[in-house]
Chain A
Amino acid sequence: MLYVVIIFLWTSILLYLLLGGADYGAGIIELFTSKGNKEITRKTLYSAIGPIWEANHMWLIIAIVILFVGFPVIYSTMSVNLHIPLTVMLLGIIARGTAFTFRHYDAVVDDMQHVYNSIFAISSFITPLFLGIIAGSAVSGHIDPQADTFLSAYIFSWLHWFSVSVGLFTVAICGFLASVYLIGETKNEHDRLRFAHKAQFFNIAAVICGVLVFTAAYVEHIPLMEWVFGNWIGRIAIVSATLSLIWMWSLLYQGKIALLRPLAGFQVTMILLTTTYRHFPNIVILKGGGYLSLLEHSGQEKTMQALGLALLLGSVFILPALFYLIYSFQKKPLEADSVSH
């Protein structure tokens, strides 16, 4: 049952990265869009994610609940040492979620829309940045349970080049996912081209940030190279991700868009797989070589059994309903006009 719980944890993180990530990415695109094009971006975004956007963010809740029920030591250690980035991330989640809803449901359309829009776009950037920083910090070996100064315990646990690079990389990935996702939602060649350019932009950004991540890892003595390339799974995943990326771009230039989304999703899945596979089951790596392991720091057996059953039971209800929701709105998308005022 422990492995069932771990699979659920990994899958919720993956789905959050893919679905929540695309969702954040849509806001990031807005941030990087010229003024004249913002409105069409917004409408495409809304008709694409309106009905499912609340559901996209549920994966984070599922992941966090799994962590605090099943792996309380890991949850509380991260909560203590990464208090500050977690708080920033939470503020980002609050700002973004409310701004998204407010801008759509405000009964009067006036200058307040500008306020909602800027809050939405900025928090769409900050939240995944800090999610990435948190993920990077967890494996960076900078968390020091023995730290005795404020700076070393609560600041340098997360503020270093590696984590910040992972944060930026996460932002780029989100922007990439969203651009590819939105290509499939466009109605004409002009918009399609616009989002294709965005995808290109974020693809290049992701590559640059990726180089940054590896450089920072090298400088800070984090064995990232070894984690990624030191085993067959990692090598196969990286090669297949690269091939699928090339394939994706050639399809895009031929104007074939059906396979774009699965391919982008596949690439991100492979990235998550390579970066988590090698140091599994150690989800948090501490300063001085200690670690927190999913296998050794799990709750007692009865807890894991109950948690696993609850998750299995939950997915019986959630998955069909979620698929039907996505399917219905894919089959007959919302009219862009019906979602604007």
Chain B
Amino acid sequence: MNDFIAARSQMALSLGFHIVFSCIGMVMPFFMAVAHYYWLKTDQIVYKNVTKAWSKGVAIFFATGAVSGTVLSFELGLLWPGFMKHAGPIFGMPFSLEGTAFFIEAIALGFFLYGWDRFNKWFHWFTGVIVGVSGLASGILVVAANAWMNSPAGFDHVNGQYLNIDPIKAMFNDAWFSQALHMTIAAFVATGFAVAGVHALMILKGKNVLFHTKSFTIAAMFGCVAALLQPLSGDISAKDVAIRQPAKLAAMEAHFHTEKSASLVVGGIPDVENKKVDYAIKLPGFLSFLAHGDFESEVTGLDKIAPENHPPVAITHYAFQIMVGMGMAMMLVSVLYFLALWKQKHWLTSTWLLKLFVAATPLGFIAVEAGWTVTEVGRQPWIIYGVMRTADAVTPMPGIAYSFYLFTAVYASLAVIVIFMLYRQIKMVGQLYDKA
């Protein structure tokens, strides 16, 4: 493995690992706040138990997310010093604000986790909400920094020099809103479905049914509402990418030839050499509609983009298909769930709907990982789109492959331990949280 690929793999691994924990860290506090609110309002002990059980999970995920996030703030320099030397002062604004948001989150979490029976109960509840709000703010700020890499702004690039730096303009670059919106909703979908799936499984097993039903309902509600909203934000993102990063859109869709009323390519195997996609379903005109809101409009293909600036087509295309596929599946489950709530109450007590949720447990996170693959791989070969190539930013230190192997081993063992601990948390619900 050469050093450049190793550096990219290590970065991908670290981000892919961190993203799971940060999604949970920013969304779970809202689930807890709802359960906590019901406890304070209704005095039903089960809600207190749910809140406490969830908060243990959140503490585990938050700690893991905090350390993996700390690692990332160093890895930016360890792996991409050429990038950080120039980009740091330009896109650093959201990071300096994120530091504050994250700090507040850590403080609020201290109040929340250790504050039972210690503070005014509404103050205690409020600190839980602050955990969620500041977590969400952190997430949005970090995504805004990533958006800058896709949509550089706030500086002039003259003869290799970065002049007239304006960090505020850089933060509010063209992509920040669409990316932040898409990611925030994605975090709710992914966490909602993952949590709902786990509780659904426990209901099916007949253990602590009331406890798990209450938990399931809160998580499923958040996840399903978000899953129905997500296609709208996806549409905003697609139209935005079509204008700003035509190469990325072309790679997502394996769209080799510029044409009017372009077809939407669903699935298939891209054949880059012969510039075609085998075994795909093609919906004529739909790509034009998706990209520009008009079935007749022209969509730029990879033929209009210099070959040295092509992103890897196959990976981007597959990742995009996976993301959309998972999103669709979860949307379908959501529609069924709302149908059940409104019209078909008996569905709620039947096992097939719960089984569907169990099957959907990992889908949201698969979609999140696939979506980030689209964003990051689709931006290649650039680290700052149109300005700096990823290959020019990598560290000169040789032997990064070993560092990659090391981090792979560490993250793999951490993942195993976290899953193991989560399994134990769930197994112990009957003894620790829901004794009745």
Give residues in A with beta carbon < 8 Å to B: 50-52, 54-55, 57-58, 60-62, 64-66, 68-70, 72-73, 75-80, 83, 86-87, 90-91, 93-95, 97-98, 100-102, 104-108, 150, 153-154, 299-300, 302-303, 306-307, 310-311, 313-314, 317-318, 321-322, 325, 328-329, 332, 334
Contact = CB atoms under 8 A, between A and B. Distances in A.
B89 interface: yes
Is chain A's interface secondary structure helix, strand, loop, or mixed overall?
A: helix
19 contacts: A61-B102, A61-B103, A64-B73, A68-B95, A69-B95, A72-B87, A80-B397, A94-B67, A97-B64, A98-B414, A101-B60, A105-B421, A107-B421, A108-B424, A153-B397, A299-B165, A306-B93, A314-B97, A318-B100
A97 B90 contact: no
B65 to A, nearest CB: 10
Contact of B89 (A51, A61, A69): A69
Contact of A306 (B106, B167, B399): B167
Contacts of A332: 118
A314 B63 contact: no
Chain B, interface residues (CB within 8 Å), range: 35 or more
Contacts of B71: 90, 93-94
Contacts of B406: 87, 91
Given A332-B118, A334-B114, A54 B165 contact: no
B342 interface: no
Interface stretch (B78-86, B181-189, B244-252, B346-354): B78-86
Contacts of B87: 72
B284 interface: no
A328 B60 contact: no
Nearest 7 Cβ contacts at the A-B interface: A69-B92, A79-B77, A314-B100, A299-B89, A101-B63, A72-B88, A76-B81
Given A105-B59, A105-B421, A107-B432, A75 B104 contact: no
Given A58-B103, A65-B95, A80-B395, A93 B165 contact: no
A83 B395 contact: yes
Nearest to B106: A54
B412 interface: no
A94 B410 CA distance: 9
A50 B112 CA distance: 12
A113 B165 CA distance: 51
Interface string B152-195: 00000000000001111000000000000000000000000000
A70 B96 CA distance: 10
A98 B69 CA distance: 13
A105 B96 contact: no
Nearest to B395: A80
B96 A76 contact: no
Contacts of A101: 59-60, 63-64
B84 A79 contact: yes
A154 B399 CA distance: 11
B77 A102 contact: no
Given A79-B395, A303-B167, A66 B104 contact: no
Nearest to A87: B403
A105 B93 CA distance: 35
A303 B106 contact: no
A60 B67 contact: no
Contact of A107 (B76, B100, B103, B424): B424
A197 B377 CA distance: 57
Contact of A97 (B67, B81, B165, B410): B67
Interface in B28-77: 56, 59-60, 62-64, 66-71, 73-77
A61 B96 contact: no
